[in-house]
Structure 1
Amino acid sequence: MTSPAHLAMFSIAAHGHVNPSLEVIRELVARGHRVTYAIPPAFAEKVAATGAEPRLWHSTLPGPDADPEAWGTTLLDNVEPFLDDAIQALPQLIEAYEGDEPDLVLHDITSYPARVLAHRWGVPAISLSPNLVAWEGYEEEVAEPMWAEPKRTERGRAYYARFRAWLEENGITEHPDSFVGRPARSLVLIPRVLQPHADRVDESVYTFVGACQGDRGAEGDWQRPAGAEKVVLVSLGSAFTKQPGFYRECVQAFGGLPGWHTVLQIGRHVDPAELGDLPGNVEVHSWVPQLAILRQADLFVTHAGAGGSQEGLATATPMIAVPQAVDQFGNADMLQGLGVARHLPREEATAAALRETALRLVDDPEVARRLKDVQAEMAREGGTRRAADLIEAELPAGADPA
């Protein structure tokens, strides 16, 4: 009797990178695979709950509850920590898997060591992308203009030299840009409607499986209060939450609306006392079971991160997108283009603008119709089960699928 296939997943300690993969991992375990998940200790319990075995390693990246300012402000500030972390993580991961090499490597887009390990072990690797992927022309249209100035600096040249040297030490001659941005095989864990230039994405490499969501019962439940005619959830996700002024605008926008109930998630870097006196129809938490609330909500005020955006789409909830950083601006534009949200730049997200936008959105039958269309389209992408099917199809010949 052959032993079950061993699949190894690699990620970093960040909610937006771990959470999208969890249901896929749970499904693979349920199908009889042995799954290990290399992750820093902060997410060990969450990973273990899927049935996978956590393989712990120490990370030098800012933790999941770190102040966003810890990431710096420039492009090089943002990317250098990932290379530093990868270089110091690789020996830990080699040791963690010595004598127990997997049949297949799964990895988040931020896990550079995973692709190095797959090369060393001679096994296939599949990227699980929690956000948009490169399209044909992406380098010329986005990456090259973005990197033009940093590449001219001594610091930028040193970054690339160090990256290339690390890859070459491990037998990889690929350029760092393609190594990071052009995987050989990728499952995209967002719906195709959130992908810019989706018609130019190479479908032989990238497969959109859409939202991979479970029942999330372990995260807790939430019940709509009696008498609440409209429920609005306000959440800026898990990282860019240090925005007390914005939360005060939301309280002012929705707290005085008759029949409305507001759930406000403020993260760990804001004291509720900073919000002043709160009306009885506003509840404030550092964290909430977001999906449970969205299934009952009438409006979602979101930073338009990839996870929140697709949860809003999956639950057919109208959205006000107030992006804070990175890919959120593009997501906000995509949501608005779909006709299911309004993009309010942060500096324009006043109480008056939030209230006016909310009242237009929640009772608009065209918005509701478009949300239902997108919801149905997402369901056809297959989600968790299709992702697991596609992963099994990549298992090397001779690896027992169950």
Structure 2
Amino acid sequence: MRVPARREPVRVAPDMSKHIAMVGVPAVSHVLPGLEVIRELAARGHRVTYANDPAVAHLIEPTGAELVPCTSTLPVADNAWPADPIAAMDLFLDDAIQALPQLRAVYDADPADLYLYDIGAYGARALAESQGRPFVQLSPTFVAWKGYEDEVAAQLWALPGADAHRAKFAEWLASCGATTLDSDAFSGRSPRALALIPRAMQPNADRVDDSVTFVGPCLGDRASLGGWTRPADAGKVLLVSLGSAYTRQAAFYRECLAAFGNLPGWHVVLQIGKYVDPAELGEVPANVEVRSWVPQPAILAQADAFVTHAGMGSSAEGLHAGVPMIAVPQAAEQFMNADRLVELGVARRIDTADATAESLRSTLLELVADPDVARTSAGLRDETRAEGGSTRAADLVEELLP
């Protein structure tokens, strides 16, 4: 399958170029989805700055954006996220509180004409509101729908520690210059948001209001991360990846080697992340290449199947490529995403405890032999690509520039 040729960006006249600032958090799953939007805006001639931790400078700088160092306190280096959702929310709030002075030190003297911000970068919205500047949320996952507060958020706010978190959030908002003082409204719905996911992955999409536009995944070749060429003798290609965060799964990878190693006609790319030593895998069959990191969209464009943790980014990339998937969810919203992929008719779900070599192999062979799965995958691929990606996202951003 081929990815359509990328449209050349339309450059704006020098006197019409603007300063657009993106503010993010250094989690790779939050950085990658919006990178091509940033690249597109910079290619059109806008001055784009990107405030984020220097740890992700290698991802940001190739886009043409100017990195604004903003140190983060989020535990992304060792992936030591707490299991308690309120504790995790506290981490994002604390990070925003310490990030805002860093943002002010740069942007009070050099304000952006428009601010883009990640869902976890609360400091950006506070800064934009205090400056009276327009702002747009770039969401790498699903957004709230009408009724979300009662159906989902109410359960969260009933957890221990929730009242203290909301009180701390409200106290910060009252003192930081924000104009939206209700913490639920501030951290929830944005007045304007671009969802960088396929509409097909959005729960209750019919109840999402017009403040949100679904532009689908914004993908590029990620050439700076290295390329990939399909072996000439590969009859079929399988990509196995649990993303960037939940990759301490040596036992699962060994099951994959037993399932797919020496499978006739198949070439397998196995991404193991940075936490597993390849030596833990034992003998690697000749038809398997093991990598710590891969340019995922480039491989999916040439793949025939995908074993994924069903993170939103990977789910969206799988739909964009039209590749049948085996979803092995690991945490958070991945279980919901896995069920949605199954509901759409393009995937089978296998929980980690059930992911034996036998179940993985039989599921793969059944999945790729199913003509209904192939037909549905192709249809959703076309729908996802029609949402416009980075080109449409950049067009919408430019429409909102003052």
TM-score (norm 1): 0.94
2-side partners of 1:351 and 1:361: how far apart?
15
2-side partners of 1:30 and 1:276: how far apart?
46
1-side partners of 2:129 and 2:273: how far apart?
39
Structure of greater relative contact order (alpha carbons < 8 Å, 6+ residues apart): 1
2-side partners of 1:296 and 1:61: how far apart?
35
Residue number among 106, 129, 135 corresponding to 2:145 in the alignment: 135
Which range moves more in the overlay, 218-227 or 82-91? Answer: 218-227
3-state SS of 1:234 partner: strand
**1:323-334 matched pairs, under 5 angstroms:** 323-334=329-340
- Cα deviation for residue 173 of structure 1 reads 4.7
Classify 1:381/1:75 alpha carbon distance in 2 versus 1 (closer, same or farther; 3 Å): same
Residue number among 292, 304, 307 corresponding to 2:310 in the alignment: 304
Residue number among 330, 335, 355 corresponding to 1:349 in the alignment: 355
Number of equivalenced pairs: 388
Say if 2:203 is the partner of 1:196: yes
Q: Is the 8 A contact 2:262 2:286 kept in 1?
A: no
- Cα deviation for residue 285 of structure 1 reads 1.1
Q: Which residue of 2 aligns with 1:7?
A: 20
Q: Which residue of 1 aligns with 2:32?
A: 19
Q: Which residue of 1 aligns with 2:116?
A: 106
Q: Is the 8 A contact 1:66 1:239 kept in 2?
A: no
**1:332-343 matched pairs, under 5 angstroms:** 332-343=338-349
- Cα deviation for residue 33 of structure 1 reads 1.0
Post-superposition CA distance 1:97-118 (Å, at most 9, x none): 2321011110010000000000
Structure 1: state its 5+ residue gaps. 397-402
Post-superposition CA distance 1:186-217 (Å, at most 9, x none): 00000100101101111x21000111112322
Post-superposition CA distance 1:48-89 (Å, at most 9, x none): 2111111001111113x423xx11111122111111111111
Q: CA RMSD in A?
A: 1.4
3-state SS of 1:307 partner: helix
2-side partners of 1:221 and 1:2: how far apart?
37
Q: Is the 8 A contact 2:195 2:214 kept in 1?
A: yes
- Cα deviation for residue 4 of structure 1 reads 2.4
Say if 2:369 is the partner of 1:363: yes
Q: Which residue of 1 aligns with 2:297?
A: 291
Q: Is the 8 A contact 1:105 1:124 kept in 2?
A: yes
Post-superposition CA distance 1:87-145 (Å, at most 9, x none): 11111110022321011110010000000000111011100000000011111111111
Post-superposition CA distance 1:138-193 (Å, at most 9, x none): 1111111132122xxxx433222111100011243532122111111000000100
2-side partners of 1:328 and 1:60: how far apart?
24
Q: Which residue of 1 aligns with 2:48?
A: 35
Q: Is the 8 A contact 1:134 1:182 kept in 2?
A: yes
**1:128-207 matched pairs, under 5 angstroms:** 128-150=138-160, 155-171=161-177, 172-202=179-209, 204-207=210-213
Q: Which residue of 2 aligns with 1:217?
A: 223
Say if 2:281 is the partner of 1:275: yes
Structure 2: state its 5+ residue gaps. 1-13
3-state SS of 2:298 partner: helix
Q: Which residue of 2 aligns with 1:400?
A: none
**1:381-392 matched pairs, under 5 angstroms:** 381-392=387-398
TM-score (norm 2): 0.94
2-side partners of 1:309 and 1:130: how far apart?
11
Say if 2:63 is the partner of 1:50: yes
3-state SS of 1:71 partner: coil
Q: Which residue of 2 aligns with 1:244?
A: 250
Q: Which residue of 2 aligns with 1:399?
A: none
2-side partners of 1:217 and 1:270: how far apart?
24
2-side partners of 1:173 and 1:14: how far apart?
26
Q: Which residue of 2 aligns with 1:230?
A: 236
3-state SS of 1:187 partner: strand
Post-superposition CA distance 1:250-288 (Å, at most 9, x none): 111111422222111101111111111221112111111
**1:69-80 matched pairs, under 5 angstroms:** 70-80=80-90
Q: Which amino acid aligns with 1:175?
A: D
**1:61-100 matched pairs, under 5 angstroms:** 61-63=74-76, 65-67=77-79, 70-100=80-110
